[in-house]
A and B are shown apart, each in its own frame.
Chain A
Amino acid sequence: MVNLIIDGKNVTAKKDTMVLEAARSAGVDIPTLCAHEAVSRAGSCRLCVVEIKKGNRTRIVTSCLYPVEEGLIVNTKTERVLNVRRLVLELLLARCPRSEVLQNLAKELGVDPQPRFLPDTDKGKCILCRSCVRVCEEVVGVSAIGMSARGSHKTVGTPFKETSSVCIGCGACVYVCPTGHIVMQSTGDKRKIWKRTFKMQTCEKCGKYFAPVDQLKFISKKTGVPYNELAVCTECR
C-alpha cells in the first residue's frame, strides 16, 4: 500500500492505483470527461489535472494517468488547477455550444462561456476524447472508427468517411461517448449508425428486436457459440 495526501487528507491506496481513483475513494471529486472505466486512459480532456508536490517542486499532472507514490502531496483545487479546468471548459463550450453535458459541468464548476470565442457550428458535441475509438478497438475489437487529420482539423469517424464494412452496429461507441455526440437510431427492424443501416435480429422468445444481425454473427464467430443460441435477448436468456 502507498500513503499519500490528497487535499490535506491522508489517503492509502494500492500500488499502481491512479491518483484519480485514490482521490475518488477518499471522497475527493475530480471532474473528468474522457476517463471511462471500460477503456484505457488517454489523458486527452485535461479536466482531471491536479497539482502535485514532491520536495520543493510542484507541477500539474493528469490524475487519471499518474500513479500514486509514497509521500506524494496532491492538491486538486489550487488556482493553477482551477485555471486549467476553467480554460478547458471555456474551450469546450465554444467548440460544442449545444452540449448539455458540458453546459451542466460548466455550471457546476462555475465557468461561463468566454464571449471572445466564436462558437463553432460544425463540431457537433464531439470533444475528440476518443473514448469511442478506444472502446471499438479495445473492447469490441473491430476498430471500425478512428481519428483522422491533425490539430484543429482532427475528426473522428470511419476511414475516409465511407461506410465501414467492419462496423457491427453494436453501439458501444454511443454508450461510452461522454457528450452524446454519436447518433444511433433504432426503428423497427433497422438500426442506423455511422451512416450505415443494420438489420436487427428478433428475440426468438419475446419477438423484440434486440441486436444487429452483424453483431450476433461477429460474436458467434469470435466465441464459437452457434448463431441460433445467440438469437435470444438478454432479458429472455
Chain B
Amino acid sequence: MKKISNAKALRRVQDDLKQNYDPNKKLVTICAGTGCRGYGCIKVKEELEAEIAKQKMDVEVRATGCFGFCEKGPLVVVHPEKIFYQQVKIKDVPDIISKTVATGEVLEKLLYRDPQNNETVMREEDVPFYKKQHRLVFGSNGMIDPTRIEDYLIIGGYSALAKALTEMTPEGVISEVKKAGLRGRGGGGFLAGTKWESCRRAPGEPKYVIGNGDEGDPGAYMDRSLMEGNPHSVIEGMIIGAYAIGASEGYIYVRNEYPLAVLHLTMAMASAKEAGLLGKNILGTDFSFDIHINKGGGAFVCGESSALFASIEGRAGEPRAKYIHAVEKGLWDKPTCLNNVETWANVPIIINQGAQSYASVGTEGSKGTKIFSLVGKINNTGLIEVPMGMTLREIIYDMGGGIPKGRKFKAVQTGGPSGGCIPESLLDLPVDFDKLYEVGSMMGSGGMIVMDDRSCMVDVAKYFLGFLQEESCGKCIPCREGVRRMHEILEDICAGKGKEGDVELLEHISTGVADGSLCALGGSAPNPVLSTIKYFREEYEAHIKNHRCPAGVCKALITYSINPDKCTGCGLCIKVCPTQATSGEKKKPHAINNDLCTRCGACIESCKFDAITVE
C-alpha cells in the first residue's frame, strides 16, 4: 500500500476502497481462527477456491478471523445473503458453490439447528448463540481478512487514529477515555484513562506502551482470537494510547504458542508502517511511534505486568513489588503504560463513537462490552462478546445453550485459574468487575469454565492449585510453598486421606498466602479454594468425614456398578473398557469387576441407558 500522507488522504483511501467494493457481490467468508484450523478449515477453503475456479465463477473466498462459535466449526458464511453454514466439510463444498453461491439455494443440512425447537436458522445473527451478543470489538472479525490492511480500512479502520491526531489533543484523548469509563480488560479492572494520565504526567523519557497478549488461563483464548482476527484494532488502539501518553515506543507481548497471532500482528505492523500509520511521522504529523513484538515463552506469570517487563528486559519473568507504579517506573525503569490487548482494541471504538455513546452500554461501574471464552460443560463452546451486566444465566443458557446431555449446572469458574467458582444460586448475577469480586471471584481476562453435576469441586480446586503451583515463579515463599502445601492437602482430600481440620487449615493458609504474596498471582491463588469452600463446603466434608466423592470423580473414593434394571446388555461398555473390567453376555445385564476398574469413565460416556452408577 502507498504511504498515506495525512488524515484527508486516509479518508480518500477509505472512500476509494468503499467505492470499489460492491456489497452485493458474492463473497464466501470462512473462519480461519486457530479453532477452525483445528477442524481443517484451510482444506475447506482451498476446496472452495478450487470449486469456484472449476465452475469459472468470480467469487472471492475470504479467510477471516474467529467468528466465535467454535463449537460448530468450520464456519462458512455466504454473502450478501449472510447464509450461515456450520460444521462444513470438504464434501459439502460443491453444493455450497453450485447451489447456494450460484443460485441462492439454502442447504438445510448445513444450517444451525436450534435444539430448543429443532428449527433451522439461516442467518448468523439469528442463531441464539449470537442473538444477545453485542459484538463491538469482535464484530468485524468475521468480515476482515486479518492479513490485508485494506479490509480494516474499508470498515473505517484508522479513522480514530486520524481523528485523535488531527482533531484532539493528547489530554483530550485521555479525557475521552476517562469519560468512557474504560476499565482494564486483563483482569485488574483499573481505569485505563486514569492510568494513561498518570503515565503522561510521570517524568522520564522515553515512555513505553505495552499490549499485554500473554493470555495464559486454561481454556481462555479471547486475546488470541482478537490478535489473530483483528490485529489492526489492537495496533490502532496502542498508537492512539501512545499519542495520548507521549510514548515513542511500544511492545506487544504475545506468547510464542500463538504462532498465528504473532504472524498476523507482524504482517499488520508491516502494512501499517508501509501505509504511514505506524513509525515515523504518522499520517504526516510530528508524532512518531513504533511497536516491537516480544514473543513470550509461555509462563503464566509473565502476564503479570512487572514479570512481563522483566521478560522483555531479558531477565527471568519474576514480578517485583510495585510500590512505585509502572506508570512511573516500568519497563527499563521508564514510565510505562501496560494494557491488555482487548483494552487497546476498545480505544478506537471510544474515539470513533465518543465517550457518551460508548458508556451507554454496560453497568454503573463497568462500561462497554467484554469478550468471554465459554468452555467446559456447555453446549456452545466459543467466544462471546456481551455488554457488561449481562447475567450468568443469560450467558450460560441463552448463548451457551445450557449444559450438554441435559445435565444439571453446578458452578462456573470465572477469571481464570485464580478466579472463583460461582454456584447455581448466583446465576442471576450481572457480570461486571465489581459484582464478580463481591462473590469471591473476578473478571480476570474473561475465561468462563462451566461445570455440571459431575464435577467435583474439591477436584476442581485441586486442578487449579496444581496449575498455579507449576506456574508460580517461585520467588516469594507464601506463593511458592503455600500454594504447594495447599495442593498437597487437596490431593490428600481427593485421595481419601483428608484429615479433620483440613478445611480450616486451608482457610488459614489461604489468608496468609493472599496477604503475604509478592504479586497478584499469589494474592489471588487461594480464590479457587476459598470460593469452593464457601459455596460447596459440604462436598469437602463428604470427602474428609465420609470418604465419599458426591460428584463421583475422585477415583480413590468411588466404585462403579451397573444397574441391572437399566442395562440392556448391549455390550458397548465391554468394548470401550480399556482394562476389561466390564463383562457379561449379550442382552443380559453386565457387571463391573472393581478390582480391574480404573474408574476412567469410558463406560459411563458410552452407555446410552444411563445404567452405570457411581458411588
- Chain A residues within CB distance 8 Å of chain B: 42-46, 49, 60-62, 65-67, 80, 83-84, 86-88, 91-92, 94-95, 114, 116-118, 127-128, 130, 147, 149-154
Q: Shortest distance in angstroms between B475's beta carbon and chain A's nearest beta carbon?
A: 5
The answer for the CA separation of A49 and B321 in the assembled complex, in Å, is 12
The answer for the CA separation of A150 and B471 in the assembled complex, in Å, is 7
B516 touches A154 (CB 8 A): no
**Which positions 478-536 of chain B face chain A at CB distance < 8 Å?**
478, 480-482, 484-485, 488-489, 499, 501-502, 505, 508-509, 511-513, 515-518
Q: Shortest distance in angstroms between B22's beta carbon and chain A's nearest beta carbon?
A: 55
Q: A45, A80, A116, A151: which contacts B472 (Cβ < 8 A)?
A: A151
A60 touches B323 (CB 8 A): no
B478 touches A150 (CB 8 A): no
The answer for the CA separation of A43 and B321 in the assembled complex, in Å, is 7
B499 touches A116 (CB 8 A): yes
A87 touches B516 (CB 8 A): yes
B516 touches A116 (CB 8 A): no
Q: B484, B508, B516, B517: which contacts A152 (Cβ < 8 A)?
A: B484
Q: List 23 A-B contacts (CB under 8 A).
A: A45-B477, A46-B478, A46-B518, A62-B518, A66-B323, A67-B323, A80-B515, A88-B512, A91-B485, A114-B505, A116-B485, A116-B489, A117-B485, A127-B477, A130-B475, A147-B474, A150-B299, A150-B472, A151-B470, A151-B484, A152-B481, A153-B474, A154-B474
In the complex formed, the residue of A with least CB distance to B317 is: A150
The answer for the CA separation of A44 and B485 in the assembled complex, in Å, is 18
A84 touches B481 (CB 8 A): no
Known A-B contacts A87-B516, A91-B485, A152-B484; the reply to A46 vs B477 at CB < 8 A is: yes
Q: Shortest distance in angstroms between B320's beta carbon and chain A's nearest beta carbon?
A: 7
Known A-B contacts A43-B321, A60-B515, A66-B323; the reply to A149 vs B474 at CB < 8 A is: yes
Q: Chain A residues near B511 (CB, 8 Å)?
A: 80, 83
| CB of B473 within 8 Å of the partner chain | yes
B471 touches A151 (CB 8 A): yes
Q: B323, B476, B488: which contacts A46 (Cβ < 8 A)?
A: B476
In the complex formed, the residue of B with least CB distance to A88 is: B477
Q: Chain B residues near A49 (CB, 8 Å)?
A: 515-516
In the complex formed, the residue of A with least CB distance to B301 is: A150
| CB of B426 within 8 Å of the partner chain | no
Q: Chain A residues near B381 (CB, 8 Å)?
A: none
Known A-B contacts A44-B475, A91-B485; the reply to A60 vs B516 at CB < 8 A is: yes
Q: Shortest distance in angstroms between B524's beta carbon and chain A's nearest beta carbon?
A: 14
A43 touches B517 (CB 8 A): no
A94 touches B478 (CB 8 A): no
A88 touches B516 (CB 8 A): yes
Known A-B contacts A43-B518, A84-B516, A86-B512; the reply to A151 vs B485 at CB < 8 A is: no
Known A-B contacts A87-B482, A128-B480; the reply to A152 vs B512 at CB < 8 A is: no
The answer for the CA separation of A28 and B515 in the assembled complex, in Å, is 22
B477 touches A83 (CB 8 A): no
Q: Shortest distance in angstroms between A157's beta carbon and chain B's nearest beta carbon?
A: 14
B505 touches A152 (CB 8 A): no
B316 touches A147 (CB 8 A): yes
The answer for the CA separation of A147 and B317 in the assembled complex, in Å, is 12
The answer for the CA separation of A43 and B489 in the assembled complex, in Å, is 27
B478 touches A87 (CB 8 A): yes
Q: A43, A114, A116, A149: which contacts B476 (Cβ < 8 A)?
A: A43
The answer for the CA separation of A83 and B480 in the assembled complex, in Å, is 17
Q: B301, B316, B481: which contacts A95 (Cβ < 8 A)?
A: B481
| CB of B343 within 8 Å of the partner chain | no
Q: Shortest distance in angstroms between B128's beta carbon and chain A's nearest beta carbon?
A: 42
Known: A45-B477, A84-B512, A153-B474. 15 other contacts (CB 8 A): A43-B476, A46-B476, A49-B515, A61-B321, A66-B321, A80-B515, A83-B511, A84-B478, A84-B515, A87-B508, A91-B482, A128-B475, A150-B474, A151-B473, A151-B480
- Which of A42, A61, A91 has the most B CB atoms < 10 Å from its CB? A91
The answer for the CA separation of A87 and B299 in the assembled complex, in Å, is 26
Q: Chain B residues near A65 (CB, 8 Å)?
A: 321, 323
Q: Chain B residues near A117 (CB, 8 Å)?
A: 485, 488
Q: Chain B residues near A114 (CB, 8 Å)?
A: 505
Q: Chain B residues near A130 (CB, 8 Å)?
A: 475
The answer for the CA separation of A166 and B485 in the assembled complex, in Å, is 37
The answer for the CA separation of A84 and B488 in the assembled complex, in Å, is 20
Q: A43, A86, A118, A152: which contacts B480 (Cβ < 8 A)?
A: A152
The answer for the CA separation of A46 and B479 in the assembled complex, in Å, is 10
| CB of B369 within 8 Å of the partner chain | no
Q: Chain A residues near B502 (CB, 8 Å)?
A: 116
Q: A62, A86, A152, A154: which contacts B321 (Cβ < 8 A)?
A: A62
A83 touches B474 (CB 8 A): no
Q: Shortest distance in angstroms between B483's beta carbon and chain A's nearest beta carbon?
A: 8
A46 touches B474 (CB 8 A): no
The answer for the CA separation of A66 and B482 in the assembled complex, in Å, is 23
| CB of B140 within 8 Å of the partner chain | no
Interface string of B15-45 (1 = CB under 8 A from A): 0000000000000000000000000000000
Q: Chain B residues near A86 (CB, 8 Å)?
A: 512
Q: Chain B residues near A62 (CB, 8 Å)?
A: 321, 518
Q: Shortest distance in angstroms between A181's beta carbon and chain B's nearest beta carbon?
A: 15
Q: B473, B501, B509: which contacts A150 (Cβ < 8 A)?
A: B473
Q: Shortest distance in angstroms between B10's beta carbon and chain A's nearest beta carbon?
A: 46
| CB of B469 within 8 Å of the partner chain | yes
The answer for the CA separation of A149 and B316 in the assembled complex, in Å, is 10
The answer for the CA separation of A125 and B598 in the assembled complex, in Å, is 40
Known A-B contacts A116-B499, A118-B488; the reply to A152 vs B472 at CB < 8 A is: yes
B474 touches A94 (CB 8 A): no
In the complex formed, the residue of B with least CB distance to A45 is: B477
The answer for the CA separation of A91 and B486 in the assembled complex, in Å, is 11
In the complex formed, the residue of B with least CB distance to A153 is: B474
A128 touches B512 (CB 8 A): no
Q: Shortest distance in angstroms between A143's beta carbon and chain B's nearest beta carbon?
A: 12
Q: Shortest distance in angstroms between B120's beta carbon and chain A's nearest beta carbon?
A: 50
The answer for the CA separation of A43 and B320 in the assembled complex, in Å, is 8
Q: Chain B residues near A127 (CB, 8 Å)?
A: 477
Q: Chain A residues near B473 (CB, 8 Å)?
A: 150-151, 154
The answer for the CA separation of A62 and B477 in the assembled complex, in Å, is 13
